[in-house]
Chains A and B, each alone.
Chain A
Amino acid sequence: MADLPAPAPAVNPETKPFWDATTEGRLVLRRCTGCQGVIWYPRAICPDCWSTGTEWFDASGRGTVYSYTVNHKGEGPYRDAGPYVLAYVELDEGPRIMTNILTDDFAAVEIGRGVEVAFSPTTDGAAALPRFRLR
């Protein structure tokens, strides 16, 4: 399939470790050391119990499709990308995260389908976008 655009994410001190890990091919998540809940998107405070004791851990990189759309009308960096799959993937660790499904076979994408992470280095090389392939 044609390569999807890989625009650089906005990175701040709170999220830099997440993006640094992606350049090493690792998907990391933030976990609360108080309630043990997984936090998404990564942040320094647990939005469930409001503890500021949080830590990174390596995720499996596997999940299932929660919802998806084939978008025919991209904007910005995606304006000329052609149709692409925007999706929420439910990671095995729980969080539903926004991502793309990398496939030319749009008909094969369905809710509940198993996927695994595949990183796309961003144009500036400072991060890699966690996208997913069908498995």
Chain B
Amino acid sequence: MSVRGRAQIAGAYEHPERKIPGKSVAQVHAEVALGALADAGLSMGDVDGYFCAGDAPGFGPLSMAEYLGLDNLSYLDSTETGGSSYVIHVGHAAAAIAAGKCRVALITLAGLPRTQGLDRGRGGSPESGFESPFGPTTVSMYALAARRHMYEYGTTSAQLAEIKVAASHHASFNPNALLPREVTVAEVLDSPMISDPLRRLDCCVITDGGGALVVVAPEVARDLPRRTVTVLGHGEAPKHAMNGHVDLTFTGAKWSGPRAFEEAGVTVADIDYASIYDSFTITVLETIEDLGFCKKGDGGHFVSDGALWAPGGALPFNTDGGGLCNNHPSSRGGMTKVIEAVRQLRGEAHPQVQVPDCEIALAHGTGGSLATRMGSATLILGRED
């Protein structure tokens, strides 16, 4: 069974704030849920499927169903793959809808790391004894991948910086972006080293906030006032350390991408716009190679030719400014990746970065680390006509 054309994204909402003192995480979940449902022209009472991940407080979907007053749920999914969870949720929602398990699926994300600090707990995991004593941090895990990619393919820090520069150009049109100022390659290279070779401006922002999506059955979508977006294809794949043979130069996108393209019946040449997970610049570089937008190892050259710039580049990306400059709520960027893809397909991105005649968009999520113990998810969406 394919999900192609079996579900529509009817509502998408990104919380406008980036620092939210004085609210609870559940409260922000509720705010984005209401935002996405209003965007869709639906209400809490219409929701019969609910999806959330590890950012949801308490007992996950059970606590949130109670808090939100969702009384008609026939389907729950709390798949947790870090920041890519919400991209996976869209695929799972489409499958559940196609199977008749629910008709209106609500997906929420919220967190307050800018106010409350980052929480990194995975102490009970089987690998932790062999890793955490050596002091790995999120940035340093990505830095290990960047260093190896540089070694094998000659990728440079200046090439990675081009990714930040393109994102900052897009963020300059987003009044809600945490970092709305355009930066240069030199500024990225002059920013403080965090974990060699990654500098501060190679990193995403830390923001409070969240977002929500509403995925509905086609018969529900027909009665809604707003343009909906068709789910064309979805692919997901974990990648792990492969019994001590970890290869840091490629990601699970190598597997999730072809699954999504096959289901959608399209190729990389058909993609008008791409939301590419951008926790760090290296995340984008490895991902676009693995999805096939350029040859493996050629990512550095690809991004240096202005390919990522909207609207005219070969692969306009992250037109909201992405996680690198706009928003990375709860340190989980998959939700905002889908939201900006929906905006592009609806023609509602900022006019300066709206891709003309955007018909097919891709949203890709990366959760966990990069190239090791990670969850990749690829979604291909189409404009409904």
Contacts and interface: CB of A to CB of B under 8 A. Distances in A.
B100 interface: no
Given A10-B124, A41-B130, A48-B243, A67 B248 contact: yes
Contacts of B248: 66-67, 88
Contacts of B195: 69-73, 86
B144 A40 contact: no
A47 B130 CA distance: 17
B268 to A, nearest CB: 28
A8 B133 contact: yes
Contacts of B139: 71, 73
A98 B243 contact: no
A61 to B, nearest CB: 16
Give the interface size bracket for B toward A.
35 or more
Interface residues of A, number: 50
B147 A67 contact: yes
A70 B196 contact: yes
A78 interface: yes
A78 B129 CA distance: 16
Interface in B128-161: 128-137, 139-140, 143-145, 147-148, 151
Given A47-B243, A74-B137, A88-B248, A67 B129 contact: no
B306 interface: no
A6 interface: yes
B220 interface: no
B245 A10 contact: no
B123 A86 contact: no
A27 interface: no
A7 interface: yes
Given A11-B129, A95-B245, A97-B130, A67 B135 contact: no
B22 interface: no
Given A43-B126, A73-B139, A86 B243 contact: no
Contact of B151 (A9, A39, A41, A111): A111
Q: Which of B127, B134, B145, B196 has the most CB of A within 10 A?
A: B134
B194 interface: yes
Contacts of A96: 241, 244-246
B223 to A, nearest CB: 50
Contacts, number: 124
Given A11-B129, A98-B134, A100-B135, A71 B245 contact: no
Nearest to B142: A69
A73 B130 CA distance: 20
B128 to A, nearest CB: 5
A40 B244 contact: yes
Contact of A41 (B127, B133, B147, B198): B127
A69 B196 contact: yes
Contact of B135 (A39, A47, A78, A94): A78
Nearest to B147: A67
A14 B128 CA distance: 13
B134 A71 contact: no
A68 B144 CA distance: 5
A111 to B, nearest CB: 5
Q: Which of B140, B143, B144 has the most CB of A within 10 A?
A: B140
Contacts of A66: 148, 248
Given A69-B196, A73-B137, A86 B144 contact: yes
Contact of A75 (B137, B145, B192, B193): B137
B200 to A, nearest CB: 9
B197 interface: yes
Contacts of B136: 86, 98
Contact of A68 (B131, B132, B147, B192): B147
B194 A73 contact: yes
Contacts of B243: 37, 39-40, 47-48, 95
Closest 10 CB pairs of A and B: A95-B244, A40-B244, A69-B143, A9-B129, A78-B135, A67-B148, A10-B129, A70-B196, A41-B130, A71-B195
Given A5-B135, A8-B133, A40-B130, 8 more contacts: A10-B129, A40-B244, A41-B241, A43-B126, A66-B148, A67-B147, A71-B196, A95-B245
Interface of B: 120, 123-124, 126-137, 139-140, 143-145, 147-148, 151, 192-198, 241, 243-246, 248
